[in-house]
A and B are shown apart, each in its own frame.
Chain A
Amino acid sequence: MYYAKHFRWDSSYSASSNLVYKLQRRRRRSKKLKHIGKRENMGWIGDTVDSIKSIQIRQLLTQVVSLGMIVTSALIIWKGLMCVTGSESPVVVVLSGSMEPGFKRGDILFLHMSKDPIRAGEIVVFNIDGREIPIVHRVIKVHERQDTGEVDVLTKGDNNYGDDRLLYAQGQQYLQRHHIMGRAVGFLPYVGWVTIVMTEKPIIKYILIGALGLLVITSKD
């Protein structure tokens, strides 16, 4: 097509027009070559830039997704534990020394809540209306109703002198079942100190999360 356009079919093929034609072709060809050269160079740089960009985006997305997977699997495990143990918070940290020498500050308690009736001697974790921190003490008195099966419970910390009536709400003499979050069934010493330190000095929590995030981001290279 290219040649057909510029090739005269008729016999009037003069030398001057031939020369003009040749010059035109040479100019076009050199322009074409220059254009090809430029695109070749551009292509190589462009390729590299593109590959760098694509690697970053893909890697970044992979890391974000794997981080999200870790967080969601931890959440799944926590919620699953809540279902299995039947209690709102299946693991609690002992904060005070009112159950020493049995439970010291910084120990972890595993809770379980079942439909079994609450009996004297069990270690229960309960919430008082108006107080946000749950308390871990032992049941020393149980009064269970004949008709409804409802139960009145009095608790006391092993290391305290008196019972917990001072801690209960104004006018409250006993705890009922709905105050109780769970029974302590298992125990691990010292592990809870991590939580206590992170709650009382939030700086350490931020440093730890920052360090973990840095480890995740730099782990790909």
Chain B
Amino acid sequence: MHSFGHRLNGLLTFSVTILAIMCAIASLSDNLNTPSPTADIKIMNINWFQKQPQGNDEVSLTMNISADLQSLFTWNTKQLFIFVAAEYETPKNSLNQVSLWDAIIPAKEHAKFWIHTSNKYRFVDQGNNLRGKKFNLTLHWHVMPKTGKMFADKIVMAGYSFPEEYR
């Protein structure tokens, strides 16, 4: 270990190892956090409910979404990606999940919110099975860390259903 090249090599290896260990510890510290989020979604209105020319049902609805997700943030959290998905079952498909709305929460202050919105993405079925169907609305969140392992979880709210007839 006497030449410049050797010393540089040793220094680089050591610093990369230390950085990797720090990233791993930062990621592990996320496990210490015990979150307690709450959410509530109300469907204010079914705007319209039609069958498309291709044969698929489509619905447009307006929702009131309120949630408190502040407990999910840790010092290692870069942002929180949340989305609302409708989940239902049809004769052909054991599970359908359709994302209706999503948002990115960059900081803890914005994690407690209330929003009145129509669905951002089109709610289109594979087929025409939606009339009178019951469905769940689930609020999913994905914790995207500054470094390390990503977590995801959800809150399921059941008890919603489509109208019996097209509107």
A residues with a Cβ closer than 8 A to B are 101-103, 117, 119-123, 138, 140-146, 149, 152, 156, 158, 163, 184-189, 215, 218-219
Contacts and interface: CB of A to CB of B under 8 A. Distances in A.
B27 interface: yes
Given A101-B79, A144-B94, A144-B96, 12 more contacts: A102-B81, A120-B83, A121-B85, A121-B142, A138-B81, A140-B83, A140-B99, A142-B96, A158-B102, A186-B149, A187-B150, A218-B5
Nearest to A149: B94
A189 B79 CA distance: 14
Contacts of A102: 78-79, 81, 104, 144
B contact patch SS = strand
A64 B142 CA distance: 48
Nearest to A121: B140
Nearest to B149: A186
Size category, B interface: 35 or more
Contacts of B145: 187
Contact of B104 (A101, A145, A188): A101
B53 interface: no
20 contacts: A101-B79, A102-B144, A103-B144, A120-B83, A120-B99, A121-B142, A123-B142, A141-B96, A141-B97, A141-B99, A142-B95, A143-B93, A144-B94, A146-B92, A149-B94, A163-B121, A185-B150, A187-B147, A189-B146, A219-B6
Q: Which of A103, A117, A146 has the most CB of B within 10 A?
A: A146
B91 interface: yes
Interface of B: 5-6, 9, 23, 27, 78-79, 81, 83, 85, 91-99, 102, 104, 106, 121, 126, 140, 142, 144-150, 152, 154
A156 B146 CA distance: 22
Contacts of A146: 91-94
A196 to B, nearest CB: 18
Given A140-B99, A141-B99, A188-B147, A122 B104 contact: no
B147 A121 contact: no
B85 A184 contact: no
A91 B67 CA distance: 34
Closest CB pairs A-B (n = 9) = A140-B99, A120-B97, A142-B97, A146-B94, A144-B95, A121-B140, A102-B144, A143-B126, A186-B149
Contacts of A189: 146-147
Contact of B27 (A122, A186, A218, A219): A186
A163 B96 CA distance: 17
Contact of A185 (B9, B98, B121, B149): B149
A136 B5 CA distance: 38
Contacts of B147: 187-189
A122 B142 CA distance: 8
A145 B149 contact: no
Contacts of A117: 95
A6 B36 CA distance: 115
B150 to A, nearest CB: 6
Contacts of A152: 126
